[in-house]
């Protein structure tokens, strides 16, 4: 039984070209995506503009160079933790232990640095991160081996690691960090010239990778983003980063933590979108069985993700400790955990797994921290602050839910 390759009408309808799009087609398809409910990061950017307008009209200190630099330093800890949260949410799990795990890292490092006989900063920092990564591995192994809900296991972790922090600090109450490198993480500002150099290097690197990618695809005869759009994107990015450096240089300069945030953003975005690991993370979050059948070791992916989550929490804890130049028994408490998870969710990462981006951690944290920062400038009470932060979270989830509904209606779930 053999069949000739006769194409039917329905097939030829599928044979739409895959050639390069023209800029107008690209913009049209983008508009179509937006109107059919695939908003991307549009609501967040609009939200940020709205926040800026509201707070600037209430307090003229909001849109100043000083406050901009402050905002970057303030959001650094939460954003770093939120990077890890994005990965956990992507595989459809949750990690409630990150708040106190971050404290465990901070306390471990601080105690190791304590004079006399303190470790060098890199050893202390390295060991602290390895320790929390191991914590993540243990929690991940427990969750995957015994098929327990991650919610419960990490809730147990939340309580246990809080206890561990209290035990480690003991009666000391507050431990001061004296190592200048560690303190510098959150308190060092780059000289103006280095800010400019970094911005230029960043833009140049982005340009190089984008253009190479487009040319490579064009040579293969595959569909590409139109050159005009690519150029516009590059120009836009250049203007934004140079503007940011310009504003920072008007105050104390580009904060070092800002560079750390950027490095993590680029690195994790690459990991999530370009490597097989990232793809497996999405696959596990989308359909565990499909991933397993594809030969992916689901357990390994899950454990690695929990390790990333804990390690990033540890890194965030160290940044927070560096900013305060000390750790105390309240480290990792308060609303740190919920702010980190809220940042990822507000940024657009689904709680049900399989969809979201690393950049959503930055955008979400930017929203939360600018609201908090603005309310701080207005001198509101913490009760009002919590209520408003809660409402912002609710709003973000509502926008996502409504756009998702219109997406299912237009067949683009």
Partner 1 sequence: MDPLLRVINLSKRFGRLSVLEKVSFEVYPGEVVGLAGRSGAGKSVLAMLLAGLHTPNEGAVYFDEKRLHWPLQSRRFSIEVIHQEPILAENLDIISNIFLGRELGWPKLSHLLKIPNQSQMDVEADRTLGELGVHFPSLYEKVSNLSAEQRQLVAIAQVMTQSARLIVVDEPTVLLSYTYQQRFLSLIQRWQNEGVSVIFSSKNLEHLFAVTDRIITLRKGQIVAVHRTDETSREDIVAEMVGVASPHQITPAIWALDNYYQARQQAEKLRHQQALLERSLVERDNLNQQLVDRLAEQVEALDQANLALQAAQRRLLTEREQERKRLARELHDQVIQDLLSVNYQLEEIGSNGNESPALTAELDDVRISIRQMVGDLRRICGNLRPPTIDSLGLGAALQSYTHDWCERNNIAVSLDLDANLGRLPEAIELSIFRIVQEGLNNIRKHARASAVEIRLKHTSPRTLLISVADNGQGLKAGFDLSALAAEEHYGLLGISERVALLGGRLRLQNQRGGGLLLQVEIPHPRVGVAVDTINL
Q: From the list 57, 116, 147, 293, which residue makes contact with partner 1 (rule: CB under 8 A)?
A: 293
Task: Considering the complex, state which of residue 19 and residue 235 has its C-beta at the smaller distance from partner 1.
Answer: 19
Q: By CB under 8 A, is residue 282 in contact with partner 1?
A: yes
Say if CB 76 and CB 373 are below 8 A apart: no
Quote the CA–CA distance of 254 and 244 in Å, as a whole number: 8
Q: By CB under 8 A, is residue 411 in contact with partner 1?
A: yes
Tokens 């097939």 belong to which residue? 11
How large is the C-alpha radius of gyration of the chain?
23
Q: By CB under 8 A, is residue 283 in contact with partner 1?
A: yes
In 146-255, alpha helices (H): 150-169, 180-187, 192-219, 227-250
Quote the CA–CA distance of 263 and 260 in Å, as a whole number: 5
Q: By CB under 8 A, is residue 250 in contact with partner 1?
A: no
Q: By CB under 8 A, is residue 220 in contact with partner 1?
A: yes
Q: What is the DSSP string of 297-321?
A: -HHHHHHHHHHHHHHHHHHHHHHHH
Q: From the list 173, 276, 379, 383, which residue makes contact with partner 1 (rule: CB under 8 A)?
A: 276
Q: Which of 61, 19, 25 is nearest to 378 (CA)?
A: 61
Say if CB 105 and CB 333 are below 8 A apart: no
Q: By CB under 8 A, is residue 34 in contact with partner 1?
A: no
Q: By CB under 8 A, is residue 3 in contact with partner 1?
A: yes
| Nearest distance in Å: CB 94, partner 1 | 18
Quote the CA–CA distance of 278 and 272 in Å, as a whole number: 4
> Binding-site residue total for partner 1 (CB under 8 A)?
44
Q: From the list 118, 126, 226, 286, which residue makes contact with partner 1 (rule: CB under 8 A)?
A: 286
Q: By CB under 8 A, is residue 295 in contact with partner 1?
A: yes
Phi/psi at 382 (5° precision): -65, -25
Residues 345-404 that bind partner 1 (CB under 8 A): 354-355
Quote the CA–CA distance of 102 and 111 in Å, as a whole number: 14
Region binding partner 1 by CB under 8 A among candidate stretches 14-22, 97-105, 128-136, 194-202:
14-22
Task: Considering the complex, state which of residue 299 and residue 326 has its C-beta at the smaller distance from partner 1.
Answer: 299
Tokens found for residue 154: 């990490």
| Nearest distance in Å: CB 293, partner 1 | 6
Contacts with partner 1 by CB under 8 A lie at 1-3, 5-9, 11, 14-16, 18, 216-217, 220, 222-223, 271, 274-277, 279-280, 282-283, 285-287, 289-297, 354-355, 411-413
């Amino acid at each position: 039984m053999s069949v000739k390759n006769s194409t039917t009408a329905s097939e030829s309808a599928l044979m739409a070209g895959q050639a390069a799009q023209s800029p107008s087609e690209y913009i049209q398809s983008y508009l179509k995506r937006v109107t059919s409910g695939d908003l991307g990061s549009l609501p967040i950017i609009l939200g940020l503009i709205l926040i800026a307008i509201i707070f600037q009209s209430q307090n003229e200190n909001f849109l100043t160079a000083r406050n901009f630099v402050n905002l970057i330093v303030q959001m650094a800890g939460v954003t770093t933790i939120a990077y890890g949260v994005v990965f956990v949410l992507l595989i459809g799990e949750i990690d409630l232990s990150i708040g106190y795990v971050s404290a465990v890292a901070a306390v471990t490092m601080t105690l190791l640095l304590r004079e006399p006989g303190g470790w060098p900063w890199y050893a202390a920092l390295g060991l602290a991160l390895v320790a929390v990564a191991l914590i993540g591995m243990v929690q991940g192994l427990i969750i995957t081996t015994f098929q327990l809900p991650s919610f419960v296991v990490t809730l147990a972790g939340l309580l246990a690691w809080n206890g561990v922090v209290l035990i480690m600090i003991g009666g000391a109450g507050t431990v001061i960090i004296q190592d200048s490198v560690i303190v510098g993480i959150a308190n060092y500002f780059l000289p103006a010239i280095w800010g400019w150099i970094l911005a230029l290097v960043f833009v140049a690197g982005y340009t190089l990778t984008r253009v190479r990618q487009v040319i490579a695809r064009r040579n293969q005869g595959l569909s590409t983003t139109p050159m005009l759009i690519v150029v516009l994107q590059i120009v836009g990015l250049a203007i934004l980063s140079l503007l940011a450096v310009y504003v920072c240089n008007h105050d104390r300069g580009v904060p070092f933590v800002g560079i750390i945030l950027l490095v993590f953003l680029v690195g994790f975005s690459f990991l999530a979108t370009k490597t097989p690991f990232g793809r497996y993370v999405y696959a596990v979050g989308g359909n565990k069985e499909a991933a397993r059948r594809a030969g992916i070791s689901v357990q390994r992916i899950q454990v690695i993700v929990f390790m990333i989550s804990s390690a990033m929490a540890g890194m965030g804890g160290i940044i927070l400790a560096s900013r305060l130049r000390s750790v105390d028994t309240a480290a990792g408490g308060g609303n740190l955990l919920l702010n980190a998870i809220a940042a990822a969710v507000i940024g657009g990462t689904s709680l049900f797994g399989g969809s979201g981006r690393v950049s959503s951690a930055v955008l979400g944290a930017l929203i939360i921290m600018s609201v908090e920062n603005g309310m701080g400038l207005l001198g509101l009470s913490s009760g009002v602050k919590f209520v408003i932060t809660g409402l912002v979270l609710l709003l973000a989830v509502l926008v996502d839910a409504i756009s998702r509904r219109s997406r299912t209606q237009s067949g683009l779930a």
